[in-house]
Structure 1
Amino acid sequence: MAEQAQYEELARQLSAVGVVKRGMGRTLPPDCPAGSAAVLTLLGRRGDMRMSKLAELLSVDMSVTSRHVAHLAARGWIERFPDPADKRSRILRLTPAGVDLLDELYRRTTHLLAERLSDWSDDEVGQLIRLMTRLRASFGECRSTPNRHPAPLGPGSRPDPGPVPKTTRTPAST
């Protein structure tokens, strides 16, 4: 088992993954913000689903999900239709235009990763994929209510607040 210091460093590195995510977000078309891209990705991977399931998978409130869905539907990238099992509910489905956009998003992301990791070997990229897949599997779906009672810390240890900036910076500059 890894030592406490390794877990602390891992926590810092994982919090820094936000830089990677923001870089990937900058490749999105202006009319497709990250939340909308996440909805498209889930529908592309999981297929048609109810809005309540989508909200659960996104780990966001139904009102947030509804805004994303309305944005995508207004652009013709998804369609909403009555659930045959429950006419009060709606089923969400990608349209052909949504599938095309999702393909474009995958192309853009793949291009960015290929560009930024061009000095990595195939083995290193493969190792990163295996380790990230394993990390994600260790957390499961991670979509339920978070554990409100985390395991107690060992003697003399403290929770890690994440990276501490070396200079004073505003959130907008990070």
Structure 2
Amino acid sequence: MAGEARYEELMRQFSAFGAVKRELGRILPSDCPSGSTAVLTLLSRHGDMRMSKLAELLVVDMSVTSRHVAHLAERGWIERSPDPADKRSRIVRLTPAGWSQIDELSRRTTRLLEERLRDWSDDEVDQLTRLMQRLRSSFDDCRTTAHRPPQPPAEPPAPPPAPPALDQTTRTPANT
């Protein structure tokens, strides 16, 4: 039961983390909601990519990705171009204005985190970063294995051992 209580407390902390995310969301420009920010951030980290890859990284449906991309393209922060390898697909890339927007978003979030975590030591911030990366990695592992088809065993399982032979003789007590 001690393990269960530990995970219940972890769930309470995840719920409380929602307040942190909401506050981070409040510092975003009104024309750059969190979904758009996620697209810009992924493009800045991973470079140009197909819309399908972007949807995969966002872990959302392609229609949601398309709405985010359209919103950002209207503002001139990204551009879409045909994929030379497959003209039906689109490659998405940041524009210079998009890079400027990323810089502004980074400045805003950095200032807020510095303000809120000013009484944390560098080691504590580093530890939180490592633990959050590890948590994310654990969930990424679950997501990729959930979609993977079951793999056949390397070798067929060994047959179960045969039950011991029953002694068919009946014994009666000896008269002594």
Instruction: Report the TM-score, using the length of structure 2 for normalisation.
Output: 0.77
The CA deviation at 1:141 is 5.8
Aligned twin of 1:123: 123
Deviations 1:129-153 (A, max 9, x none): 1211221122226655968xxxxxx
Asked if 2 retains the 8 angstrom alpha-carbon contact of 1:39 and 1:68, the reply is: yes
Asked if 2 retains the 8 angstrom alpha-carbon contact of 1:56 and 1:143, the reply is: no
Q: Number of residue pairs matched?
A: 146
State whether structure 2 residue 80 is matched by structure 1 residue 80. Answer: yes
* Identity score, percent: 75
> Residue 111 of structure 2 aligns to which amino acid in structure 1?
H
- Deviating runs (4+, > 4 A) in structure 1? 141-147
Partners of 2:81 and 2:141 in 1: CA distance: 27
Larger mean CA deviation between 78-87 and 134-143 belongs to 134-143
Instruction: Report the TM-score, using the length of structure 1 for normalisation.
Output: 0.78
Highest Rg: 1 or 2? Answer: 2
> Residue 90 of structure 2 aligns to which amino acid in structure 1?
R
Aligned twin of 1:169: none
Partners of 1:8 and 1:146 in 2: CA distance: 24
Q: Which runs of 5+ in 2 are unaligned?
A: 148-176
Q: Which has the higher contact order (CA 8 A, sep 6+)?
A: 1
Cα RMSD after superposing both structures: 1.8
